[in-house]
Amino acid sequence: MKINSVDYTKSMYSLNNWITKNGWQGYDPYDIKSLNWVISLVNLGNKNKFFEIVREVIFELFYIFPTFLRKIFFVKTETNAKAMALFSRSYLDLYSIFKEPKFLENSKYCIDWLEKNKSEGHKGSSWGYPFNWQTKELIPKHTPNGIVTTAAGDAFWSWYKFSNDQHYLSVCKTICVFLETLPIHRISGDQICFSYTPVYVNHVHNLNLFVAEFLIKVGIETNQKEWINLGKQAVNYTIGNQFQDGSFDYNGPPEKPRNFIDNYHTAFVLRMLHSIWILTKDKTVFESLEKCYNHYVNNFFEKNKIPKLLPTRKYRIDIHSCAESINCLCELSSTFSDSIKLAERIADWTISNLQSPKGYFYYGYIKSRIFRKPFLSKVSYIRWNQAWMLKGLSNLLIKSKQKV
């Protein structure tokens, strides 16, 4: 049965009550992977097939026994800057709908926390994750990165637009100062790619567009043409590497292709292309956006409501994919009017299948190599689950109100 906006409201309040009761701290899918022995195993797995299999089995155990293993290895709950950024934006949006002072208080608490907890030792304002993070090199905890920093930037930008307080715009400008310091690979005269962190050069499309969108947005507001130009050159790079079917790989060249075209990273790309098109009215950006949108809605949803991880693979049905697909499709509904109906169907399914009676959202359905049949992982992650679902629900409530 169709769930109406009142039910979305009930779901949001239930989630909000759980968040309020449990505070701002929680586990994260990656916190246990920051342990030294796990990092060593990751490095061994990158070099040896046997250890790669061992690594994957152990990672599956992290999903199967998430809370138990964290207690065994003394992994503590933490406050995550990206979660705080998402909470700040979501509560501000909820205040705009319901006018409840508590929502505004929560948003202000989160934005103040962000201002007090910036990464240290870097130019401008920036934020990172509270755990070590192993990619091709070790990223020490609190090392700032473009993803967390632009999420925080979105929160400060929203407060600036809400209050017209120049202080928040000033913080946005210092965020752009940091983003300029990220390693930039100039591919050609009009194409650049921003790196994820200051640690090394890499090429990731969704990160590149998050940085580009923020630089363009703040650049237009403050008449900083250099930021606008850098952003547009980054957009040129990502659009120039779009596949014929409209999709984007996670990595861009000259990185070795991962052939990993997944749900929520595609949604990130879509949201940023949409915002950049609205900011610039660039026809080429819209053509790229439209191609990617058509590929997304036609390939990533089973039964036109269940988010798949990949176009060719259903599991894992991840709360991150559910939340971000709702969020993305709501934001795109001003341009693609049919997207709101898909967002509502996804929300209906997600609330019915992944929301606990206690209010929080489960991690999702996993098909394990150990247990062949899919099982429901009920672990509650503060950033991955709750922050993103509050963002998706707040966006859905805004659009539902507009539609009514």
pLDDT mean over 381-397: 97
Name the pLDDT band for 400 (thresholds 50, 70, 90): confident
Contact by Cβ (8 Å): 146, 179: yes
**What is the per-residue pLDDT across 59-113, written as a single tens digit (0 to 9) for each?**
888 888 899 999 999 999 999 999 999 999 999 999 999 999 999 999 999 999 9
Question: What SS3 string covers 3-58?
Answer: CCHHHHHHHHHHHHHHHHHHCCEEECCCCHHHCHHHHHHHHHHCCCHHHHHHHHHH
Q: Which two tokens stand for residue 118?
A: 């910036």
pLDDT tens sequence across 6-48: 489 999 999 999 999 988 999 999 999 999 888 888 888 777 8
Asked if residues 353 and 377 have their Cβ atoms less than 8 Å apart, the reply is no
CB atoms within 10 A of CB 281: 9
Entry field: residues in the chain: 404
Per-residue model confidence (pLDDT) at position 59: 86
Q: Cα dist. 253→137, 203, 205, 249 in Å?
A: 19, 7, 10, 10
How much is the average pLDDT of 318-327? 97
Q: Are 368 and 64 in contact (CB under 8 A)?
A: yes
Residue-wise pLDDT for 170-216, tens only, equals 999 999 999 999 999 999 889 999 999 999 999 999 999 999 999 99
Q: What is the DSSP code (8-state) at residue 315?
A: -
Closest CA to 91 of 25, 24, 26, 174: 24
259 vs 302, which has greater pLDDT?
302
pLDDT of residue 45: 76
Q: Ramachandran region of residue 164, left (φ > 0), alpha (ψ -120 to 50) or beta?
A: left
Across 116-248, where does the E strand assignment appear? 133-134, 138-139, 184-188, 191-194
Q: Please say if the pLDDT value at position 325 is more than 90.
A: yes
Burial 192-216 (b: 16+ CB within 10 A, else e): bbbbbbbbeebbbbbbbbbbbbbbb
CA distance 235 to 96: 31
Q: What is the mean pLDDT of residues 141-152?
A: 97
**Per-residue b/e over 314-349, b at no fewer than 16 CB within 10 Å?**
eebbbbbbbbbbbbbbbbbbeebeebbebbbbbbbb
**Residues 6+ positions from 316 with CB-CB distance below 8 Å:** 309, 364, 365, 366, 367
pLDDT of residue 135: 80
pLDDT of residue 51: 79
pLDDT above 50 for 132: yes
* Mean pLDDT to the nearest integer, 354-365: 96
pLDDT in tens, 147-177: 999 999 999 999 999 999 999 999 999 999 9
- Examine the pLDDT at 2 and tell me if it is beyond 50: no
Instruction: Provide the pLDDT for residue 404.
Output: 45
Rounded to two decimals, the pTM is: 0.94
| Spatial CA neighbour of 271 closest among 311, 342, 320, 327 | 327
